[in-house]
Amino acid sequence: MEKLINITLKVWRQKGPKVKGAFETHSLEGISTESSFLEMLDILNEKLINEGKEPIVFDHDCREGICGMCSLYINGHPHGPDEDITTCQLHMRKFKDGETITIEPWRSHGFPVIRDLMVDRTAFDKIMQAGGYVSVNTGGIPDANAIPIPKVDADEAMDAASCIGCGACVAACKNGSAMLFVSAKVSQLALLPQGRVEASRRAKAMVSKMDELGFGNCTNTQACEVQCPKNVSIANIARMNREFLKAKFQD
């Protein structure tokens, strides 16, 4: 049942990566509990524009939980207090009338702030460019059943491939580690025969690029798995470590 609530927002404002930021406080009245979190931010921005003020910059695209661009830290949680969703799937019914909501960008050395709530996540693109693909000639297009793949392996590969690269794992990690993201991208290829040809080079290259870009190390607190909107398992991290060690022994 739809209700209207009044809320107070503490929103992070920052004009650039090298400029000191600060929180701004804004009040909104009559927000429908059936509206999404991003729709609420749209209402706030419309209010700011009407007042002759600068709207708040935040990232979004599909608004369907697919692209992962809606990366916001809400009340201390990546993507907000609900489970297994991205920010665009969060609805205002999760908040109470009169509540104060704190909104921040991802906090990570690897994700510098561009402006306000938008961060630069091209580091993930660079990690993928380092080896998250198959480049060898695998021949023509075979029939679907020509290469037998155990269902368990196929299911695990698809589970790993569900990672949308939103960066919630990095934001949740006290070390700012990107291990869950990188391991998911390594796993989705390592589990399939097409990905085995370049397996050793891939693991080393992607881990090396991750370290180069300033992401922290994994200390197995499992915060990344808890906050991942797509339930990507930390079992992928163990698999990536095995792939990396095997690659080192093959040198």
How high is the pLDDT of residue 138? 62
234 and 141 in a common domain: yes
Averaged over 136-164, what is the pLDDT?
84
Read off the pLDDT of residues 166-221 as tens digits, 9 standing for 90 and up: 999 999 999 999 999 999 999 999 999 888 888 889 999 999 999 999 999 999 99
Domain with residue 222: its CATH number is: 1.10.1060.10
- What residue numbers bound the domain in which 186 lies? 122-250
129 and 38 in a common domain: no
- Whether 111 is covered by a domain: the verdict is no
Task: Say if CB 101 and CB 7 are below 8 A apart.
Answer: yes
154 and 87 in a common domain: no
Measured in degrees and rounded to the nearest 5, phi and psi for residue 222 equal: 70, 10
Read off the pLDDT of residues 68-79 as tens digits, 9 standing for 90 and up: 999 999 999 999
100 and 22 in a common domain: yes
- Whether 205 is covered by a domain: the verdict is yes
How high is the pLDDT of residue 140? 73
Last residue of a domain, one of 73, 104, 135: 104
* Confidence band of 251 (pLDDT split at 50, 70, 90): low
128 and 82 in a common domain: no
237 and 205 in a common domain: yes
Q: Considering the chain, what is the average pLDDT of its residues?
A: 93
Matching residue, tokens 């380092």: 130
Q: Is the model more confident about 238 or about 200?
A: 238
Task: Say if CB 148 and CB 205 are below 8 A apart.
Answer: no
Domain count, the chain: 2
Instruction: Output the 3-class SS for the chain.
Output: CCCEEEEEEEEEECCCCCCCCEEEEEEEEEEECCCEHHHHHHHHHHHHHHCCCCCCCCCCCCCCCCCCCCCCEECCEECCCCCCCCHHHCEHHHCCCCCEEEEECCCCCCCCEEECCEECCHHHHHHHHHHCCCCCCCCCCCCCCCCCCCHHHHHHHHHHHCCCCCCHHHHHCCCCECHHHHHHHHHHHHCCHHHHCCHHHHHHHHHHHHHHCCCECCCCCCHHHHHCCCCCCCHHHHHHHHHHHHHHHHC
pTM: 0.92
128 and 63 in a common domain: no
Triad 107, 109, 112: Cα angle to 5°: 75
Query: Residue 139: pLDDT above 80?
Result: no
Last residue of a domain, one of 104, 130, 145: 104
